[in-house]
Amino acid sequence: MKNLNGLRQQSNSLQRSLSRDSRGLIALLLLFGSACSPVETTVTPTAVGSTQNLSKNSNQNPAPNQDKKVILTTFTVIADMAQQVAGDRAIIQSLTKIGAEVHGYEPTPSDLQRGQQADLILDNGLNLERWAEKFYGNLQNVPRVTLSQGVEVVNITQDEAAGKANPHAWMSPKAALIYVENIRKALVDLDPTNASSYNTNAANYSEKIKNLDQKLRETIATVPPEKRFIVSCEGAFSYLAKDYGLKELYLWAVNSDQQATPRQIQNVIEQVKSQQIPVVFCESTVSADAQKQVARETGAKFAGVFYVDSLTTPEGAAPTYLDLLTYNINTLVKGLKNSEQ
């Protein structure tokens, strides 16, 4: 872990050297504009005042986004949720990029600059962002809201993390409705002028999540109950498994561990064999080597990747949260069904 005081010093000097171009920097760093595109946009920097005058209203040459609030989220999944609620009324960014691991992320000096310039930070909480407290310790007066507040927490049951909260609550559509309500409240508090827009967007989005939840339940119901296993690298499906009556098996509890021990691998191998589980999977943001070893040693099929800690680019299988849920369940059910004799 890098020394964050050092990062702050670097950040301060970076801020001084970049202050003239800070509007351009902000725009360059947008990972999630209104089109939710990961493509960085090249813009001509416009002049702003001194470092003390970095507020988004100090621009002498107004840009179209000038009055919009800037909301920084910690990872791409909640960035998409926030984007759905914000619509075109606020600017949503993600600190970690598409495909990046969020658990053990190490913020950079430019991340600190983005954090300091944001009007609001939205995080997941439940110790997903292990780096969050140090990161926040280097920011001054930036409000933040934790989106998992109010979710019924599921604890990790194995390894040294046993007894601690499982951070992957967003993987449950039911819990996602609480995230959406927390986003709505946070945006309305921050930017009451656009409250009616946020309220309407949140209601529409919640309706979509509920409809998808129903559809996914029906999809899972087509698999015989005794075959409803989900085997992955990370224990990221505990909330979803609880919702949908799936039995979950995983190599490691959270991705910051991501090196399976021989004992963890052996444990999964034994259970896959004894339960005659036909397919195993891994998450997109980590190496699937250990799970492929499980497949080799059990005769189960390695049947693909799940998307959990990150979305994909628009060309990928999971460019939005709703796509992510759909893809994971369809991939699981297809794998389980193809294995039927």
- The least distance separating Zn ion from the CB of residue 164, rounded to whole angstroms, comes to 13
CB distance 235 to 253 below 8 Å: yes
Q: How far is the CB of 13 from Zn ion (least distance, A)?
A: 34
Q: How far is the CB of 93 from Zn ion (least distance, A)?
A: 20
Angle at 191 between CA 189 and CA 197, to 5 degrees: 100
Output 191 or 283, the one with its CB closest to Zn ion: 283
**Of 6-14, 207-215, 290-298, 307-315, which part binds Zn ion (CB under 5 A)?**
307-315
With contacts defined by CB under 5 A, name the span among 185-193, 255-263, 270-278, 293-301 that binds Zn ion: 255-263
Binding mask 198-237 toward Zn ion (x if CB under 5 A, else -) reads: --------------------------------------x-
Nearer to Zn ion, 216 or 236 (CB): 236
What gap in Å lies between CA 78 and CA 76, rounded to an integer?
6
SS3 assignment for 91-125:
EEEECCCCCCCCCCCCCCHHHHHHHHHCCEEEECC
Residue 196: how many other CB atoms lie within 10 Å: 10
Exactly one of 197, 201, 255, 258 binds Zn ion (CB under 5 A); that residue is 255
**Amino acid at position 46, single letter:** T
Asked if 257 touches Zn ion (CB under 5 A), the answer is: no
Using rule CB under 5 A, residue 309 touches Zn ion: yes
What is the rounded (10 degree) CA torsion for 117, 121, 126, 131?
A: -10
Closest-CA residue to 86 (of 170, 186, 217): 186
Size of the site for Zn ion (CB under 5 A): 3
Residue with Cβ nearer Zn ion (213 or 309): 309
Residues 6+ apart with CB under 8 A from 96: 74, 75, 76, 102, 105, 310
> Rounded to the nearest whole angstrom, what is the least distance from the CB of residue 161 to Zn ion in the complex?
12
Task: Report the nearest approach of Zn ion to the CB of residue 108 (Å).
Answer: 21
Please report, as ranges, the residues that interact with Zn ion according to CB under 5 A: 236, 255, 309
